[in-house]
């Protein structure tokens, strides 16, 4: 059973609403959002009513946060434009079902809280933008300093504003490649549109390890796609020749997870690849293969993350064993007290 469905079943088995709210407060935002979504999807009428009662038991700010996150769906096999439209439609439909099951006064309260949150977020975003622009007007900085700024900022809008404001003030242009990799794919795509596709490509100069979505109906993006596809084809051919010379037979591909119009593609990376793509597809999405150094760093990071996860799991198991031992001692002491009381 899916973790969200299992947690939803557990919540429904709790007899008191206050206890359910306490259990909800122990869950992470993403997991609780999935739980609420599972309730609504599994039974649009009764599930929405159950999810509505759970939300009403939470503080308004927490309820608004969960409502915002619970319909964050991923539809990777569809074109990005259709994915966004369908995602918005599904979220709106489910949200209307959920809000319709809530008491009107609670809905009004959540609406007021959401407006206050939006106003505070807008004010904060404007303040950050003004401070960044003031800072950029009088200061030069390194790419490492820009990377530190990006690590401090968490909101997508703030990070985008930071890159746009400070992009031209970075003195070591080659280092922007490392800063760019700190951005999420959605942030990269938005910044490519704001800064210019060819401009960003000219500054970065390397596609390795980067995720690309390119609209072939746009002339600038089409030319960039042509450049990247032909570069990938040349590198694939060189890798194959080197492997053949070394007596090795291995599959080499530079464009990982290649999608055309949102659909998975399997096309040989050779001289004919671009002509096949440009005549058949309006959009391309792929992740350019990482360089050897990037692959090594990613492997080291994955190994470190796995080691941390194992350590945390071991600590959790030790804590559980200690808890069980303590509980056993308490149970034994309680039995001895009961026995002594009965003998007396």
Percent of the chain beyond pLDDT 90? 27
Confidence of residue 20 (pLDDT cuts 50, 70, 90): low
Q: Say yes or no: 36 and 91 in one domain.
A: yes
CA distances (Å), 252 to each of 103, 234, 297, in order?
58, 12, 20
User: Do residues 181 and 204 make contact, with C-beta atoms less than 8 angstroms apart?
Assistant: no
209: left (phi over 0), alpha (psi -120 to 50) or beta: left
pLDDT attached to residue 335? 81
User: Do residues 190 and 160 make contact, with C-beta atoms less than 8 angstroms apart?
Assistant: yes
Asked if the structure places residue 118 within a domain, the reply is no
Q: Total domain count for the chain?
A: 4
Q: Say yes or no: 49 and 80 in one domain.
A: yes
Three-state secondary-structure class, residue 166: helix
Asked if the structure places residue 71 within a domain, the reply is yes
Domain stop point among 102, 119, 140: 102
Asked if the structure places residue 115 within a domain, the reply is no
Highest mean pLDDT range out of 63-77, 138-152, 244-258?
Answer: 138-152
| Mean pLDDT over the full length of the chain | 79
* Residue 167 DSSP class: G
Q: Say yes or no: 245 and 190 in one domain.
A: no
What number is the average pLDDT over the span 13-32?
66
User: Do residues 151 and 182 make contact, with C-beta atoms less than 8 angstroms apart?
Assistant: yes
Q: Say yes or no: 82 and 94 in one domain.
A: yes
Domain stop point among 187, 203, 219: 203
**Whole domain around residue 184: which residue ranges?**
129-203
To 10 degrees, what angle do helices 17-25 and 3-13 make?
A: 150
Asked if the structure places residue 120 within a domain, the reply is no
Confidence of residue 46 (pLDDT cuts 50, 70, 90): confident
Confidence of residue 29 (pLDDT cuts 50, 70, 90): low
Reply yes or no on whether the pLDDT at 76 is more than 50. Answer: no
Asked if the structure places residue 273 within a domain, the reply is yes
* pLDDT tens sequence across 283-333: 999 999 888 777 787 788 788 888 887 888 888 788 778 878 888 888 787
Q: Say yes or no: 190 and 224 in one domain.
A: no
Q: Say yes or no: 211 and 199 in one domain.
A: no
Asked if the structure places residue 83 within a domain, the reply is yes
User: Do residues 158 and 183 make contact, with C-beta atoms less than 8 angstroms apart?
Assistant: no
Q: Which of 107-111, 124-128, 131-135, 194-198 is predicted with the least confidence, judged by mean pLDDT?
A: 107-111
Q: Say yes or no: 7 and 97 in one domain.
A: yes
Q: Say yes or no: 341 and 259 in one domain.
A: no
Q: Say yes or no: 165 and 191 in one domain.
A: yes
pTM for this prediction: 0.60
pLDDT attached to residue 246? 76
pLDDT attached to residue 73? 43
Reply yes or no on whether the pLDDT at 224 is more than 70. Answer: yes
Asked if the structure places residue 323 within a domain, the reply is yes
Domain stop point among 179, 203, 227: 203
For residues 310 and 176, give the distance between their C-alpha atoms in angstroms, rounded to a whole number.
Answer: 34
* pLDDT tens sequence across 79-123: 455 445 544 444 555 566 666 677 787 777 777 777 787 788 788
Q: Which of 53-57, 122-126, 238-242, 264-268 is predicted with the least confidence, judged by mean pLDDT?
A: 53-57
How many CB atoms are located within 10 Å of the residue 96 CB?
A: 11
Asked if the structure places residue 107 within a domain, the reply is no
CATH number at residue 17: 1.10.220
* pLDDT tens sequence across 238-262: 888 887 877 776 667 889 889 999 8
- CA 311 to centroid of chain Cα atoms: 25
Q: Say yes or no: 36 and 95 in one domain.
A: yes
Residue, of 194 and 9, whose pLDDT is higher: 194
How many CB atoms are located within 10 Å of the residue 52 CB?
A: 23
Q: Say yes or no: 9 and 95 in one domain.
A: yes
Reply yes or no on whether the pLDDT at 74 is more than 60. Answer: no
Q: Say yes or no: 37 and 73 in one domain.
A: yes
């Amino acid at each position: 059973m899916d973790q969200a469905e299992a947690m939803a079943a557990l919540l429904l088995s709790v007899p008191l609403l206050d206890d359910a709210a306490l259990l909800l407060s122990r869950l992470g935002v993403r997991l609780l959002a999935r739980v609420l979504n599972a309730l609504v999807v599994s039974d649009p009428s009764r599930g929405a009513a159950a999810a509505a009662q759970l939300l009403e038991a939470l503080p308004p700010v927490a309820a608004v946060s969960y409502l915002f996150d619970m319909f964050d769906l991923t539809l990777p096999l569809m074109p990005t434009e259709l994915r966004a439209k369908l995602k918005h439609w599904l979220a709106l439909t489910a949200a209307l079902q959920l809000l319709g099951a809530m008491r009107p006064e609670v809905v009004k309260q959540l609406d007021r809280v959401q407006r206050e949150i939006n106003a505070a977020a807008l004010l904060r975003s404007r303040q950050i933008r003004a401070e960044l622009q003031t800072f950029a007007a009088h200061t030069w900085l390194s790419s490492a300093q820009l990377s530190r700024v990006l690590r401090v900022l968490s909101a997508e809008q703030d990070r985008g504003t930071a890159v746009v404001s400070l992009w031209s003030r970075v003195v070591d242009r080659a280092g922007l490649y490392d800063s760019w990799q700190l951005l999420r794919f959605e942030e990269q795509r938005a910044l490519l549109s704001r800064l210019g596709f060819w401009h960003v490509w000219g500054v970065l100069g390397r596609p390795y390890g980067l995720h690309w979505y390119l609209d072939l109906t746009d002339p600038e993006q089409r030319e960039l796609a042509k450049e990247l596809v032909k570069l990938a084809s040349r590198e694939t051919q060189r890798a194959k020749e080197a492997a053949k010379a070394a007596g090795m037979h291995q599959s080499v591909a530079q464009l990982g997870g290649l999608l055309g119009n949102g659909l998975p593609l399997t096309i040989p990376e050779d001289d004919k690849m671009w002509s096949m793509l440009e005549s058949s597809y309006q959009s391309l999405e792929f992740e350019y293969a990482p360089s050897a150094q990037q692959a090594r760093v990613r492997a080291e990071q994955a190994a470190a993350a796995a080691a941390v996860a194992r350590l945390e799991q071991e600590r959790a198991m030790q804590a559980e064993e200690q808890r069980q031992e303590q509980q056993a001692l308490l149970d034994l002491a309680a039995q001895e007290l009961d026995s002594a009381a009965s003998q007396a």
